[in-house]
Amino acid sequence: MNIFRFAGDMTHLISILVLLLKIYATKSCSGISLKTQELYAIVFLARYLDLFTDFISVYNTIMKLVFIGSSLAIVWCMRFHRVVRRSYDRELDTFRHYFLVGVSFILALVVHEKFSFQEIFWAFSIYLEAVAILPQLVLLQRSGNVDNLAGQYVFFLGAYRAFYILNWIYRYFTEEHFGRWISCVSGLVQTALYADFFYYYFISWKNNVKLKLPA
């Protein structure tokens, strides 16, 4: 494992911890898209089917279990926790995310690296993750003002993908048979979706003001 992959994993883990902190410490999920969280739960469940068939390392297995468990816990809290669910911005979180699931699955059936059960679902998870942030970004744009923890959550989530791009570049030049082009293309698309958010996040940080996204 190279330093960029590790940094990507850690920023991803930090984004989840920030979100869990927001939900459990404040007993509020205001500013968080349930639909994005449901998409991430689907992403991890589809991607880590190899948890039952392949063992790579203890670190790899732990990270997979953490991502699956945390995503399901967040969805459960936002849907069923008697206090947290009251703060859910249902009126703002109206993105039709099931279209993203359908299009991603069809794309995985057509464009994949190997036609097998696990590879199809792996490709599906990669395509879906590339666009899973869209409901969250739309919700933040509609709400205007972004609270500190929600903004940090999205920032670290975007940073995770940026580090993974550096990881792929590093592996391309150091590994003889690196060919995960589906991950690379999808990662570039996903990172591009964060560009607008990163711009306003940097402006708010530079001017020490509350983060606001234009409607």
Q: Exposed, middle or buried by CB within 10 Å (0-12, 13-18, 19+), for 83?
A: exposed
Give me the amino acid identity at 142. Answer: R
Of the two residues 105 and 203, the one the predictor is more confident about is: 105
| pLDDT for 215 | 62
Residue 12 has pLDDT above 70, yes or no: yes
pLDDT at residue 167 is higher than 80: yes
Backbone phi, psi, residue 201, to 5°: -65, -45
The residue-averaged pLDDT of 164-193 equals: 81
> How confident is residue 6, by pLDDT bands cut at 50, 70 and 90?
very high
CB 100 within 8 A of CB 25: no
7-16, 95-104, 157-166: least confident range: 157-166
Q: Supply the pLDDT for residue 209.
A: 67
Residue 176 CB neighbours (<10 A): 4
pLDDT of residue 179: 66
Q: Which residues pair with 19 in a beta bridge?
A: none
Mean pLDDT of the chain: 88
What is the band of 36 on the pLDDT scale with cuts at 50, 70, 90?
Answer: very high
Query: Tokens 């926790």 label which residue?
Result: 81
For the chain, percent of residues with pLDDT exceeding 70:
94
**This model's pTM is above 0.85:** yes
pLDDT band at 1 (very low <50, low <70, confident <90, very high): confident
- Residues 66-82, mean pLDDT to the nearest whole number: 94
| Encoded tokens for 126 | 């990669």
Q: Angle, nearest 10°, between helix axes 148-174 and 195-207? A: 120
Mean pLDDT of 189-193: 83
